[in-house]
Every structure is written in C-alpha cells, then in structure tokens.
C-alpha cells in the first residue's frame, strides 16, 4: 500500500504540485490514468482529426486540473502531439503547477492582446505536450469563451494537435464550461468521492444533456478503493470510471467550498 504525502492546496508549492503530476506519479496512479486514456480512446473511436476533450466537474476543487494535466501527459506518452488548454479563466492554476509563464494565455489572445503563436509553450513534462495557459484573469470570461474567436482559435489549434484537453471551470458555478461544450468532441466529468453530492452531479448531467454535450465518462477522484491493496490500486470499477488514490486531506479552501455548497443547497 502506498502512502502519498498530503497536499494542502493553499500552500502547494511547485515542488509539491510536481509530485502528483507527470512522471512523478506513483505506479498505481499512472496505471489509473492509462486506463482513463484507454476508455477515452474507446469513447471516441473513429473521430477523424483532432479530438478535443473538455474536463469539468460539478464543484470547485474536485481534481479537474490535476486530471487534465495527467491525462494530457499520459496521452503524450503514446507519441501523439497533445495540447493542454486552460479555459478556467477565473481561477487559473496550470502555470504555477507546470512552472511555465502565465501570460500571455488564451484570454490575452481572445482580447486581441497577442498573436496565436505567442500563447503556445512547452509543458516541460514531455516534449510532445504543449500548454496554453488561461492568461490574465479577464472581467468577462463567459463572453470571451463564447466568442467566435474562441471557436476559430480551437479550430486553428486542432490543425496542429492530435488531442486537446481543455481544463474547464465547474458547471454549477458558472456557464463557461457549457459554453465550451459545443466546441468539444466530448466532456469528462470529474467527481470527487465524499465531496460531490448527488444533486450537484445530477444537475451537471442535466445541464450537459441540455447543452447537447457528449459525456464521455466520469472520473472518480479521492477514492478509498485505492487504499485497500497494491493490486487493487489500478483497477477501475466500471466503464467510464476510474479511481485514484486519496492523497490529500481537506484544506481550508476545500472546507470553504463545502460551506459554499451547503449554502447553495439551502
Ligand atoms: N485523483 C485525485 N485523488 C485525490 N486528490 C486529488 C486527485 N486529483 C486532484 N486531487 C487534489 O484535489 C485538490 C484539487 O485539485 P485540482 O486543483 O486539480 O481541482 P480542480 O477541480 O481543478 O479545482 P478548481 O475547481 O479550483 O479549479 C488538490 O489538492 C489535488 O492535489
Ligand atoms: Mg482547476
């Protein structure tokens, strides 16, 4: 049984964050991401050209960005040219986690402040994985993401990459992810065990269906299943789901999210 050091989200340094991404992942966790990769390949078997996959969740802090980085890295291991595009314009974290520059990013391009070539940068994890950060936090994220330029930018990027993973905000908080859902091949919904409640998840599925998005599957994070034995560390429970090891405890940030969720329910 592995023990992964607790990671307090608020104080996560670049070094700490590096421990739960890329080739620093435990054997069990990297196997879980490979299963997720296989499931995604089965979910979009014959789509010609670039696959664009959005990663979202019901609530804040369920593991979207971590999942996005790791699935993009795992996909890049196969030799494909992969892009990680950060479209959580309100709470960007990718630049810090990958230790890349935060600006210019997609928001700067959409606001006409830079050129397309300026926003692409190597991820530093593996040579065929590239990253586009969110950029400066804009006053109007939904409008920028819903603009015609966003569609044009994604189309242009699709010509240069085999797969694009889009790290999105949570669905119950803002409409940004739904706005993007019409531009992607499919959506993956991250669900954190013992955190996301049934009503919020049902709402996400309802909204995605309403937006006519293709839900490719659900990724369960923070699962206890992984703690039981080494062998069970990389099994997944059913199609479309994968489990990963619980490697954090609730931070103050996450407790605040719990509170917010409770008050939303009231
Ligand atoms: N598979 C996992 N199992 C356990 N904990 C995880 C997993 N993936 C991510 N985490 C932890 O959950 C916390 C939140 O992760 P992350 O920032 O990826 O979530 P997020 O959904 O992108 O958050 P936000 O909505 O604020 O953008 C971090 O402390 C991270 O280390
Ligand atoms: Mg995030």
Residue 153 pLDDT: 96
For the CA of 253, the nearest atom of ligand 1 = 26
Pair 203, 170: CB distance under 8 Å: no
Total domains present in the chain: 1
Lowest mean pLDDT among 149-153, 160-164, 210-214, 231-235: 231-235
Residues 129-148 have a mean pLDDT of 95
Decide whether any atom of ligand 1 lies within 6 Å of the 257 Cβ: no
| Nearest protein Cα to ligand 1, atom 15 | 63
Residue 4 within any structural domain of the chain: no
Residues 243-259 have a mean pLDDT of 40
pTM of this structure? 0.83
- In whole angstroms, give the CA distance from residue 135 to residue 93: 10
- In whole angstroms, give the CA distance from residue 50 to residue 44: 11
Q: For residue 259, give its domain range.
A: 17-265
Residue 149 within any structural domain of the chain: yes
Residue 1 within any structural domain of the chain: no
pLDDT over threshold 90, residue 230: no
Decide whether any atom of ligand 1 lies within 6 Å of the 97 Cβ: no
Residue 118 pLDDT: 96
Residues 217-231 have a mean pLDDT of 65
Decide whether any atom of ligand 1 lies within 6 Å of the 142 Cβ: no
Closest by Cα among 148, 55, 133 to 92? 133
């Amino acid at each position: 049984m592995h023990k992964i050091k607790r990671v307090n989200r608020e104080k996560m340094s670049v070094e700490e964050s590096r421990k739960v991404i890329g080739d620093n992942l435990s054997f069990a966790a990297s196997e879980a991401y490979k299963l997720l990769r296989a499931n995604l390949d089965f979910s979009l078997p014959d789509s010609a050209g670039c696959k664009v996959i959005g990663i979202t969740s019901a609530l804040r802090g369920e593991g979207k960005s971590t999942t996005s980085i790791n699935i993009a890295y795992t996909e890049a291991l196969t030799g494909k040219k992969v892009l990680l595009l950060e479209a959580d314009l309100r709470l960007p974290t990718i630049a810090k986690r990958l230790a890349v520059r935060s600006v210019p990013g997609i928001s700067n391009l959409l606001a006409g402040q830079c050129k397309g070539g300026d926003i692409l940068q190597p991820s530093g994890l593996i040579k065929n994985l590239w990253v586009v950060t969110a950029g400066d936090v804009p006053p109007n994220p939904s409008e920028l993401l819903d603009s015609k330029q966003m569609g044009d930018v994604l189309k242009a990027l699709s010509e240069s990459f085999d797969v694009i993973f889009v790290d999105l905000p949570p669905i119950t908080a803002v409409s940004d992810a739904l706005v993007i859902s019409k531009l992607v091949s499919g959506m993956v919904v991250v669900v954190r065990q013992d955190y996301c409640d049934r009503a919020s998840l049902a709402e996400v599925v309802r909204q995605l269906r309403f937006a006519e998005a293709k839900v490719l599957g659900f990724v369960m994070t923070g699962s206890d299943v992984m703690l039981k034995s080494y062998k069970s560390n990389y099994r997944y429970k059913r199609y479309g789901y994968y489990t990963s090891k619980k490697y954090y405890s609730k931070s103050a940030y996450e407790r605040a999210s719990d509170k917010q969720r409770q008050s939303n329910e009231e």
